[in-house]
Structure 1
Amino acid sequence: MAGRRASDDLLRTLNDGTERPARLADQVYRQLRRSILQGEIAPGANLPGEIKLARVFQVSRPVVREAIGRLRTDGLVASRRGSGTYVAETVPEMEENVEPPEALDLAAVRDALAELEFRMVIEAETAYLAAQRRGQDDLKAMEEALDAFAAALEEGRVARHFDRMFHRAIAEATGNARFVVALDALESERSPAELLMRHRLHFHPRDRGRAVLAEHRDILRLIRDQDSEGARRAMRNHLERARIRMIGYGPNG
């Protein structure tokens, strides 16, 4: 069910109005591939059909078919006769799905550092307000995101989507939609280099992912206790640690 909801969300967000490149099949392939690698479409999820995807991307069905074929070659999806196309139950490690020459893209690192600087300002205050205003439904959303994060991490699946869900749930707990809009704006199209970098920074090796999870749980505890100052400080420290991990990013992770 979660995988189907993710696919439904994908239909609403894939066509974001960005300019499409000349090779339409490349664009469809990259967007679907990115969504799978980020965990936005869960392992085992049924992809939307060709007709729906063609409508979302405003392309022909043969274009969609070509993109799906490339995903199949990558081992990211598999077709079941009479049933549709499904994401692989085990998505290969992200490093295996990103071209090595892009792995140390310094421009991507600079962009990510600029984003973190912005988030340290915005999300620290978001956590402060969330601690004051959160309701039981907000706490439940945060807990569910962290439980899914922990399960994905231990099973070796992509966890980044659940990290995003946690931070978004905090923004929603403020009751101020502008915070949510600001976070969503940061989730603009990522290059493969950025996806690899973020994955390695936060979740690889697994102990690093567990450290991120522990930081999240500390933030949740403070929000639950309505400790506004503590939540603000914990969020800022969490993002500062992410910044330090990013500055230390290199060939050996």
Structure 2
Amino acid sequence: MAHKGMTFGAKYVYRRLKESAILDKALALYPEYGLVLTGHSLGAGVAALLAIIMRPKYPDLRVYAFAAPAGLLSREAARVTESFVFTVGVGDDFVMRLGVDSIENVRTGIIQTLHASRLPKYRILLNGFGYALFGVPPGDLESTWKNDDLESTTPGTSPLLGRRPVPTVAASTVGILFIMTTKSFISHSFQEAALLSREIGVRRFSKTRLFTPGRILHIVSRKKTKAERKAGTGGPSFEMRWATAEDFMEFKIMPKMLLDHLPENVYKTLETILTEHKNHTSEVV
């Protein structure tokens, strides 16, 4: 099973390649070359699916997928791609966690939180636009992602909601999420809240959970002090680990989730890792 839209895209590209016979011509001209497919975001998903289609004819092809979407392949198909697809993800990249299932969970969380919140909705809306234009203030970041008050309450509660149970989406995050909603969504959200909180399965658009393709290398930044950054000390700027597709099933609302997805940021991250590795190797030698 695979994402329908990206499957259409992969089949379209394959048909064009077949009609032009450009790969056969290129490999005949350069027989010592291998075949590598690559792409970023949507392109990464299409490249992985295209590789599955083309492998019978090109069994040695490889795929380098950058920021591949989570909602791409069924778990069985994703395991098959681990032998020829290499996926790279950076930090809190939202597309790496983007799937129908995860988005539906976020949608339900937004509706439930809005329904339970004691804050006036106009304040949430204005704060959301303020965050979008000027960034999230440090104070709000602390209260949203590092709320010490939550330690004294039971799991799933929030001071903003009068210590009532809420989903994993933080209440103060609603200001950010509100700008992502449409007018029709807003007008119907409160009517749907009670139903969705009791019968979550009713509103599911997909009964098959889809996963990220390939073997996944996840890169995260390391925290350094200002003095370490200025002096170029404190070890490497990034840490790398092998991740599994299950690690990207939950959609997380984080400050850098858009920035970490941008291709120029992915390129800059990889360039920094290679430069630091080269410098470290030179120092050792």
Which bin holds the TM-score, normalised by the shorter protein? under 0.3
Larger Rg over CA atoms? 2
Q: TM-score, normalised by structure 2?
A: 0.25
Larger helix fraction of residues: 1
1 or 2, which has the higher strand percentage? 2
